[in-house]
Amino acid sequence: MQKTTTKLADGRELIYFDTEESADRAYTDLRPLEATTALSEVRRDPVTGDHVTVAAHRQGRIYHPPADECPLCPSRDGRSSEIPAPDYEVAVFENRFPSLALGAAAEVLPDVTPLRELTPGVGRCEVVCFTSDHDASFADLSESGARLVLDAWTDRTAELSALPGVEQVYCFENRGAEIGVTLAHSHGQIYAFPFVTPRTVRMLARADEHRAATGRNLFEDVLAAELADPVRVVLRGEHWTAFVPFAARWPYEVHLYPNRRVADLTELTEPERAEFPGIYLELLRRFDRLFDGSAPTPYIAAWHQAPARHRTEAALHLELFTIRRTVGKLKFLAGVESGMDAFINDVSPESAAHRLREVAT
């Protein structure tokens, strides 16, 4: 893999990842861009203890541009984009409208007033362009293309984790207008948080309780239980297993675990990396066949990785889920889910797993 780092016109970092080590990436961003200002705040909810990021400057970000003005396409035919090169394989750059930014420390003053805990939204938000093809999805990638994305995720996890103040690195993809995606070009994002996210806090608390009660790791026991009674197992390889969780929250939800527990992407071995693309691409393609190919399936793909300071019990895994519950119908997070965080699933996990096995090629 070749990694080439350069700068955009406003000083943001742009990184090209290429399978060949001879790729020419000597292209200059000629746009007249002004440096962005980071005004993000992180506020602590005094009732729940959760961190909430306030990033009001993002209201002006790009919203559903026409295909010929896509900022994630290569710069071609006299049109400049976020990527100056006329073609690329995988490109990663700092978000122009970040929720978190290292510069926030210079713009936002902390406040330690009781019940009003506020700190600067220090962190980093990156955009990961999976392909230069505007019309291709992740599922359309070759295995080598998916492997290059995995290598990019791994590289960024290592570098972002080393930034001062970063507590957790989160790689994810939102796909589909139904999810809220505002740029149609296939891409994902990476957030380097200055706090541990609420869902991770809850999972690790459960893992600590499980260790105290049993002497074993929670995530290892969950995977072993699914393999012992494989009614919810969707795919199994030598190094990875995909299953619908016992208490799935979403109509179709699959968790993909490496069979050997690791803390984050940087700890995967070469055999584990080599097998991942085939397993993951098959899962994505099955998601697109769930509803008889009537429309591309909207989904969220979320990598769960260990925080910087709580790695012992954590387990790397990917959670893939869709908000579509059947043809033409979505699962909305209404009063019960949004108001009380109490999920009600319209599809049994066993039925979902059966359907995901049924749509195999």
Last residue of a domain, one of 170, 195, 220: 195
Together in a domain, 177 and 75: yes
Question: Which of the listed residues 195, 227, 260 is the one where a domain comes to its end?
Answer: 195
pLDDT of residue 244: 98
Alpha-carbon distance of 157 to 264, in angstroms, equals 8
Q: What is the pLDDT of residue 34?
A: 87
Residue 143 tokens, joined: 């295995």
Alpha helices in 229-269 (DSSP H): none
Domain that holds residue 40: 2-195
Q: Are residues 21 and 108 in the same domain?
A: yes
The pLDDT tens digits of the residues spanning 61-92 come to 666 688 789 999 999 988 999 999 999 999 99
Q: What is the rounded average pLDDT of the residues 144-150?
A: 98
- Cβ-proximal residues to 224 (8 Å cutoff; 6+ apart), any chain: none
Nearest to 135 by CA among 70, 182, 85: 70
Indicate if the pLDDT at residue 59 is higher than 70: no
Q: Confirm whether residue 57 is marked as ligand binding.
A: no
Whether 32 and 146 map to the same domain: the answer is: yes
340 Cα distance to chain centroid: 25
To the question of whether residue 70 is assigned a binding role by annotation, the answer is yes
**Distance, CA of 306 to CA of 311 (rounded, Å):** 5
Question: Above pLDDT 90, what percent of the chain?
Answer: 86
The answer to whether the annotation marks 129 as part of a ligand binding site is no
117 three-state secondary structure: strand
Q: Tell me: the pLDDT tens digits for 306-325? A: 999 889 999 999 999 999 99
* Nearest alpha carbon to residue 138 among 357, 312, 299: 299
**204 and 130 within one domain:** no
- Would you say the C-alpha torsion 199, 205, 210, 211 has a positive or negative sign? positive
pLDDT band, residue 14 (cuts 50/70/90): very high
Domain count within the chain: 2
Task: Give the CA angle between residues 43, 44, 49 to the nearest 5°.
Answer: 160
Half-sphere exposure of 41 (CA within 13 A, CB side): 13
User: According to the model, what pLDDT value does residue 331 have?
Assistant: 93
Is 73 assigned to a binding site?
yes
Residues 222, 134, single domain; the answer is no
List residues with catalytic annotation: 187
* Alpha-carbon span 303 to 322, nearest angstrom: 15
pLDDT over 70 (residue 162): yes
CATH number of the domain that residue 261 is part of: 3.30.428.10
For strand 90-94 and strand 116-120, is the pairing parallel, antiparallel, or unpaired? unpaired
| Arithmetic mean of pLDDT, 276-290 | 97
In terms of domains, do 131 and 257 share one? Answer: no
